Structure 1
Amino acid sequence: MPARYTIGIDLGTSNCALAYVDAEAPSPRTHLLEAPQYEALGKWREDAVLPSFCYFLTDDEARELHGKDAQGEGNIADWSRSRVVGLWAREMASLAPERVAYSAKSWLCHRGVDRESKLLPWQSTVLPAERKLSPVDVSAAYLSYLRTVWDQQMAAKDKTARFDRQDIVITVPASFDSDAQRLTLEAAERAGFPASTRLLEEPQAAFYAWLERHPGSEELAAAFPQLNERPELVLVCDIGGGTSDFSLFEVTAPKDAGDLPSIRRLAVSEHILLGGDNLDLALAKTMEARLTDGGELSTSAWAQLLSQCRSLKERVLAMSSPEREKKLPVSVTEGGSSLFASARSADITQGELLDLVLDGFFPDCPADAKPERELGGIREMGLPYAQDSAITRHLAGFLNGRRVDALLFNGGTVASSILRDRLCAQAAKWQDGASPNVLANDEPHLAVARGAAHYRYCEREAAGVTISGGSGHAIYLEIEGAAPKKLRGKKKKKAAAMLTGVCILPQGAEIESPQRLVEHDIQLLVDRPVRFQAWTSPSRPDDAVGEIVDLNDDAFHRLPALSTLAQLPPTVEKPADGKLAVHLISELNNLGLLQVVCESVRRVGDRQRRWALEFNLREKLSEGDAPQKSAGGEDTGVSTEDLQKAQAEIEKFFGLQSYSAEQSNPARLLKELEELLRLKRKEWNTALLRELWEPLGEALTKRDISVEHELAWLMAAGFSLRPGYGHAFDQYRMQRLWFVHELGLAHDRDKAIREQLFILWRRTAGGLDREQQLTLYRDWQEKIYEDTKQGYEPLRMAGALELLPVEERTKLARHCQALITGRAGKFCDHAIWALGRLLSRTPLYGGESAILPSELVSEVFAAIEPLAWRDSLAGLTTSFAQAARKLDSRDHDLPAGLRERVLAKLRDSGASAEQLRSVEEFIPLEEKDRQQLFGESLPVGLQW
């Protein structure tokens, strides 16, 4: 039985909304769900907009709202009883900022953090770690609330109307990558949404909302007056609270009279984390300088200021003609107690505010402008906002000289007529004064939800205009090797110069409709790095799946290559030639991601094997990019002959091949490799090290020949894979290395073997995921906290595990402090090194979520400050130069007073001028800084 309702949900950065279509209604159209929500303690209000804010209740508030069954902080069984979302949560963002999570959607696409870790509310010190939520959980909280409201209002008397029985679409930015899409669906699953829930691009949803209001051919003809002469281009400019998204659509006249026009999506912009939130931040920074004479406000006062600036911005931009000289006051309170609290006040004129917004974010620029991409060592901590704040330059770069016939604005930021007029004027200037027609959107904050519901209804019922996109091109995979006898194309070229491709997705293929390629004998290399090159063509509508073509740069467009490794478990017997026959299964989703699954034709081990690849069809080759070499074609810095000798030597050491010569002493493995390669090991570059890993990986299960063999293997493996990331295919190499943990040590009673195991994991920690690091920590926890010589290397290993939960890394830092103070500086080099890694403001790979709070730095410094940082404690100058390093980041810089104390101690302890300067002012990270953090030399040519 088909679902009665199609539901569209706008999961926004600033606001959420739910719209629906009743397919059984006489005239199906979209309606909005009015969601009841707290606007204050105990006070309810219904609103179609649910602000995307999540407030963590105090114990007293929880008891008042839910009665005696509400227990203490963090112990409430039903999480929803300890938090509220919506209007009241938004109000509390300025009154109790450390209890409010927001901008979860922006965090979902932040690659610099573990998006499934509990990090929101960001930098909160009032909530215990176990009460915090991940960006996925916060998104799930909004979705769960909307699901609950639906069931209460729509399904109370009709079980068939239950939420989980409906057709549901959630909107996401058009530029969301595959991880952000996956995490959005993960949030929906956690919120109890059905498995059939789908995603839709926000700009496309906004266009569907406009189409619902203009359904007839006459209305469409009026909106696109030149349609009978040529296709018209529509730009959807979607600027919300957290992101800016641009999409370009082509509207084409119908082939037959009475039919509706066809609409095809042509292009979408890259992900731009830039929107109304940035306007608020810029205004708040301006006002902070006035309130403090160039200083900084406390976290609480800053949150108050940010909330007020948001209100001032919205008030001024809502005006048609602001009074430029009229003053707008702001006031914040510093200090937690009313007795000692101090108020600060300042003002800004409406004209100053308007100039800041227009000149800073919507400046005039030429049609050929590009966004500035200045890089400076460490990026701004917090959310990775776009480096260029000029939305007009981002738009010019996206359009790249294309003429726009119509503009559709969407998103809360462009609800302002002032900003819409600025963008219209800019577009007209770019096309010789020809102003685009503005398509009306009187509900920019609700259009996306309405459009998503309308889209699903039109698609299911085959009603109205639908938008096509993504399958406008045929897609091919380049196939290496001898070309089949029959080839498409004009004349056969010489085999050596020929590029051959096979069609894996035909032009016009339906979205989310799998295409299987089974008729060709396609071989997949396993357990070796491989490269997949995809091509597209917009002009080959007759090519079917499996069609063989000659590839050339005239008729086909080369996409960025995708590198991967199809890996088999060590226990599975590998094919003799390293190749497996596979079928290809291709599927395109409506967000422009092509998934290709390589499925083994026959069983390999206990089952058929599948390897999935994802191509972003909207990604373009960078200007000047050349086709990359195949895997294995990198410059190793040594001759091919010498490399082969070295690899053969490794194979001989571990008995991978039969050799008549007597085996060498395993302890001399690295030394003999130096001699064969004629290069000292400190000069081995990354490409060479990873080539040496290949035979070591093959020998993973052969290291049990003797204690000496296992010791040599562990040492060589850790050296060749350090730091576990930074080079193509490292994630796959690390997957294989993890079998060392799963299989265990062959000689686990030997102390030297165990010590080398800890060194291996310390060296390669950056390639381990969160769960793997936590597994190592738990398995070796007793050793890590053991105050003996056997605890030295386990503690160093633990200090390198940057993805451990904050509470565990805090515990480790305090343990290091106790060792240093308790031993009076004797035999604690390992603790000093681990402490430097734990307190560093610039983690090697863990991102900003690995930066421990400044309060902990203060606590540890207070305990260690009285010691003399000389002789055996001299390493503390390095540790605290790392712990106090200046980032120009409100979130992570130490308070000024604490930083001055650390600086004074560093000066007294003989710290270098370079160390002092890194604490006094912001200096971009250099290679030697990373080397120092890592604790030893890093591979030459490592890609960071």
Structure 2
Amino acid sequence: MSRFVVGIDLGTTNSALAFVDTTEATEDLPAPVRSLPIPQLVAVNDVAERPVLPSFLYLPTEKEFPAGSIDLPWKKKPDRIVGTFAREHGAKVPARLVSSAKSWLSAEGIDRASALLPWQAPEDVPRVSPDEASAEYLGYLKDAWNAAIAGKSADDRLEAQQIYLTVPASFDAEARERTVAAARSVGLEQVTLLEEPQAAFYAWLSEQGDSWRKRVSVGDLILVCDVGGGTTDFTLIGVAERDGDLELNRLAVGEHILLGGDNMDLALAHAVAETIPGGMEGLDPSQRIGLTYACRNAKEALFSDPGLKSATVSVLGRGSKVIGGAIKAELSRELLHSVLLEGFFPKCSATDQPARGRRIGLTEIGLPYAADPAITRHLARFLGRHSGATSAAGAAARPTAVLFNGGVFRAEGLRDRIAETLADWGGEPIEVLAAPELDLAVARGAAYYGMVRRGKGIRIRGGVPRSYYVGIETAAPAVPGVPTPIKALCVVPMGMEEGTEADVPGSQLGLVVGEPAEFRFLASTVRREDAIGTVLDRWSPDELSELTPLVTSLGEQAGEEGDVIPVRLHSIVTEVGTLELWCEGTKDAGRWKLEFNVREPAGA
């Protein structure tokens, strides 16, 4: 095993790295979790350490900066800039600034491998793919680690360590696989993925030590409310008892909600624009992007300094008045809280549902943001859908405690609004679990989880967080213009533990061999009662969502091209969370494997 266990939070807005040096452990005390200060450009000719690495990539022109002025301790003449200076300078030149790569990495309906960032940049600006931008951030963290920790020791380089890389709980399989691929592209091979809300809870466990058992009781239901730069994630963790000791079980995860700090920055930009002559309509597209980035920086400044009453927002002018024509405004704390509280955290009832919004026939290709910005209404929907996670069947889940995660919740007023809303829904106060260092919690929790995997801590149990189904083509007469309907066969029920396997009961199926065939997979976060072998003839879009299909060719030696041979299915959930679906011949010997990642894909 590696000397270090490393946790990396590859965030939409900020990335962070934490680690455990296992040689520091003693018989009485575990090794501490530490965060890595990250050296980065903060201005021209100025490299300084910061606790996090802003997830921004600036693409400079060839002669934009003087020679040597953007050099790094480990790299001379970099052709790209990452981190604080990329964010600050890029706010003035937004057409060359890549941001929110993580959101694009998870966006469905686009080619995520294509070079599309910076979004809507002019033709003469080079572009990168979301994968490439993610690899830039991971590569930067690798270089910073190797310079600060490894030195000349090959065994201590980041490439040689066990790495736990976090992703939103709602990331689909393709986004997870692309995250792993980005890590591998910079030489990080020993990578396991961990869901961010779980990582945040592991950070809380790490801080509490053995005293966590005094903070919670059997029957408690803990909500992890994670609002990051690009996504909103909800997770429910239950406290149970086994053999006289407390244990933790992850009971439910939310669906993918593309809603977070990016949306808030845009809302703030519109609010600030109302104080500028001409408003938002008076700004060109580049200035609008610049205003959004400037509002993001102002928001971060107000979050970081509670004593600050306002922050300046500045946008460059146009044409010959780029400098002299700069537009300046103020983002006050009062306006900040008003926009965020009323726009994103409005008071609502437990039965409210987020608005879906009417779809227009033609729409611009871009990030599929949630139609309703009200996080409280999305929370109401989540708790209402997961009534089965508690003993009160038919009633919405009622958390007894909440743990906040994400930089958005550095604002005390936003934490208070969620806690008050939950209390209103449940009729009693909600305990807020202390979550220090919100920007670092996920990375620190991931590092702690690495030690849990080595048997040095309490593990959150729960098996796979979704039920998984394979699509079965219905034997029905062909109808012109009507696609053949499919049934959904449950091959992995929700909660199936890692390291277990089972035959899929039911009648035998026909496997197409010798030619490329499409295998369709579906998943559900709410159908927790479906047992393995359950067949669904119909379902609503709210119950099942289709995943990226797998196209492959099986059984080239089993028969002629296009033959159909009878098989039965056998499911295995491996220790690292991959699903192996075996097709076993019932007449002739033969086994064929379909492998699909369902949790923590480590690249089997």
Tell me which residue corresponds to 2:233.
245
| Contact 2:471–2:489 (CA under 8 A) maintained in structure 1 | yes
CA offset at residue 279 of structure 1? 1.2
1:280 aligned onto 2:283: no
Name the SS for the 1:337 alignment partner.
Answer: helix
Change (3 A) 1:62 1:182: farther
Structure 2 letter corresponding to 1:54: L
Tell me which residue corresponds to 2:247.
262
Matches within 5 A, 1:214-253: 214-216=208-210, 219-224=211-216, 227=217, 230-253=218-241
1:133 aligned onto 2:128: yes
Change (3 A) 1:380 1:437: farther
1:97 aligned onto 2:80: no
Structure 2 letter corresponding to 1:252: A
Name the SS for the 2:249 alignment partner.
Answer: strand
Give distance in 1, aligned partners of 2:115 and 2:522: 38
| Contact 2:294–2:315 (CA under 8 A) maintained in structure 1 | no
Name the SS for the 2:19 alignment partner.
Answer: strand
CA offset at residue 450 of structure 1? 0.6
Matches within 5 A, 1:781-800: none
Tell me which residue corresponds to 2:295.
309
Which among 35, 60, 63 is matched to residue 63 of structure 2?
A: 60
CA offset at residue 126 of structure 1? 6.7
Change (3 A) 1:111 1:582: same
Give distance in 1, aligned partners of 2:488 and 2:313: 64
Q: What is the aligned-residue identity percentage?
A: 39
Structure 2 letter corresponding to 1:314: E
Cα deviations across residues 167-205 of structure 1 (Å, max 9, x unaligned)?
A: 1111000000111111111111111111x3111000000
1:356 aligned onto 2:339: yes
Tell me which residue corresponds to 1:375.
358
Cα deviations across residues 127-179 of structure 1 (Å, max 9, x unaligned)?
A: 44xx4211000000010111122222222243222222211111000000111
Give distance in 1, aligned partners of 2:341 and 2:212: 33
Name the SS for the 1:394 alignment partner.
Answer: helix
CA offset at residue 469 of structure 1? 2.1
CA offset at residue 268 of structure 1? 1.0
Give distance in 1, aligned partners of 2:372 and 2:340: 14
CA offset at residue 352 of structure 1? 3.3
Give distance in 2, aligned partners of 1:534 and 1:146: 34
User: Which consecutive unaligned segments of at least 5 residues does structure 2 have?
Assistant: 385-395, 475-486, 600-604
Structure 2 letter corresponding to 1:205: A
CA offset at residue 55 of structure 1? 1.4
CA offset at residue 308 of structure 1? 2.8
Which among 390, 394, 397 is matched to residue 381 of structure 2?
A: 397
Structure 2 letter corresponding to 1:11: L
Cα deviations across residues 495-516 of structure 1 (Å, max 9, x unaligned)?
A: xxxxx999955897542x4747
Which among 408, 411, 436 is matched to residue 416 of structure 1?
A: 411
CA offset at residue 6 of structure 1? 1.1
CA offset at residue 337 of structure 1? 2.7
| Contact 1:241–1:276 (CA under 8 A) maintained in structure 2 | yes
Structure 2 letter corresponding to 1:139: S
| Contact 1:288–1:296 (CA under 8 A) maintained in structure 2 | no
Change (3 A) 1:140 1:615: closer
| Contact 2:37–2:50 (CA under 8 A) maintained in structure 1 | yes
Q: Which has the higher strand share?
A: 2
1:46 aligned onto 2:49: yes
Change (3 A) 1:215 1:539: farther
Change (3 A) 1:609 1:79: farther
- TM-score scaled by length of structure 2: 0.80
1:151 aligned onto 2:143: no
Matches within 5 A, 1:120-519: 120-125=117-122, 127-128=124-125, 131-194=126-189, 196-216=190-210, 219-224=211-216, 227=217, 230-256=218-244, 259=245, 261-294=246-279, 295-317=281-303, 330-338=313-321, 342-347=325-330, 349-377=332-360, 378-379=362-363, 381-400=365-384, 401-432=396-427, 434-460=428-454, 462-471=455-464, 510-511=497-498, 513=499, 515=501, 517=503
| Contact 1:171–1:448 (CA under 8 A) maintained in structure 2 | yes
How many residues align? The count is 560
- TM-score scaled by length of structure 1: 0.53
Change (3 A) 1:361 1:344: same
Tell me which residue corresponds to 1:730.
none
Name the SS for the 2:78 alignment partner.
Answer: helix
Name the SS for the 2:316 alignment partner.
Answer: strand
Structure 2 letter corresponding to 1:291: I
| Contact 2:579–2:597 (CA under 8 A) maintained in structure 1 | yes
Change (3 A) 1:537 1:589: farther
Give distance in 1, aligned partners of 2:109 and 2:489: 37
Name the SS for the 1:250 alignment partner.
Answer: strand
Tell me which residue corresponds to 2:602.
none
Cα deviations across residues 626-663 of structure 1 (Å, max 9, x unaligned)?
A: xxxxxxxxxxxxxxxxxxxxxxxxxxxxxxxxxxxxxx
Change (3 A) 1:438 1:520: closer
Give distance in 1, aligned partners of 2:586 and 2:95: 55
Matches within 5 A, 1:571-590: 578-582=563-567, 584=569, 586-588=571-573
Tell me which residue corresponds to 2:7.
8
CA offset at residue 25 of structure 1? 1.3
| Contact 1:501–1:548 (CA under 8 A) maintained in structure 2 | no
Change (3 A) 1:79 1:430: farther
| Cα RMSD for the two superposed structures | 4.2
CA offset at residue 24 of structure 1? 2.0
Name the SS for the 1:291 alignment partner.
Answer: coil
Give distance in 1, aligned partners of 2:177 and 2:535: 35
Tell me which residue corresponds to 2:392.
none
| Contact 1:13–1:241 (CA under 8 A) maintained in structure 2 | yes
CA offset at residue 454 of structure 1? 0.6
Name the SS for the 2:320 alignment partner.
Answer: coil
CA offset at residue 587 of structure 1? 4.2
**Stretch deviating more after TM superposition (33-42 or 152-161):** 152-161
Q: Which has the higher helix share?
A: 1
CA offset at residue 49 of structure 1? 0.5
Structure 1 letter corresponding to 2:264: L
| Contact 1:595–1:615 (CA under 8 A) maintained in structure 2 | no
| Contact 1:516–1:583 (CA under 8 A) maintained in structure 2 | no
1:111 aligned onto 2:108: yes
| Contact 2:3–2:156 (CA under 8 A) maintained in structure 1 | yes
Structure 1 letter corresponding to 2:463: G
**Stretch deviating more after TM superposition (412-421 or 337-346):** 337-346
Cα deviations across residues 226-254 of structure 1 (Å, max 9, x unaligned)?
A: x2xx4110000111111111111101134
Change (3 A) 1:66 1:598: farther
CA offset at residue 578 of structure 1? 4.0
Largest Rg, 1 or 2: 1
Cα deviations across residues 883-921 of structure 1 (Å, max 9, x unaligned)?
A: xxxxxxxxxxxxxxxxxxxxxxxxxxxxxxxxxxxxxxx
Structure 2 letter corresponding to 1:387: A
User: Which consecutive unaligned segments of at least 5 residues does structure 1 have?
Assistant: 69-77, 482-499, 617-944
CA offset at residue 353 of structure 1? 3.4
Change (3 A) 1:315 1:380: farther
1:19 aligned onto 2:18: yes
Change (3 A) 1:587 1:54: farther
Cα deviations across residues 303-340 of structure 1 (Å, max 9, x unaligned)?
A: 432233223333445576987xxx76644332143489
Change (3 A) 1:79 1:100: farther
Give distance in 2, aligned partners of 1:142 and 1:191: 10
Give distance in 1, aligned partners of 2:60 and 2:549: 46
Cα deviations across residues 342-397 of structure 1 (Å, max 9, x unaligned)?
A: 34445565433322221111100001111110122144653221110111111111
Cα deviations across residues 659-712 of structure 1 (Å, max 9, x unaligned)?
A: xxxxxxxxxxxxxxxxxxxxxxxxxxxxxxxxxxxxxxxxxxxxxxxxxxxxxx
Name the SS for the 2:236 alignment partner.
Answer: strand
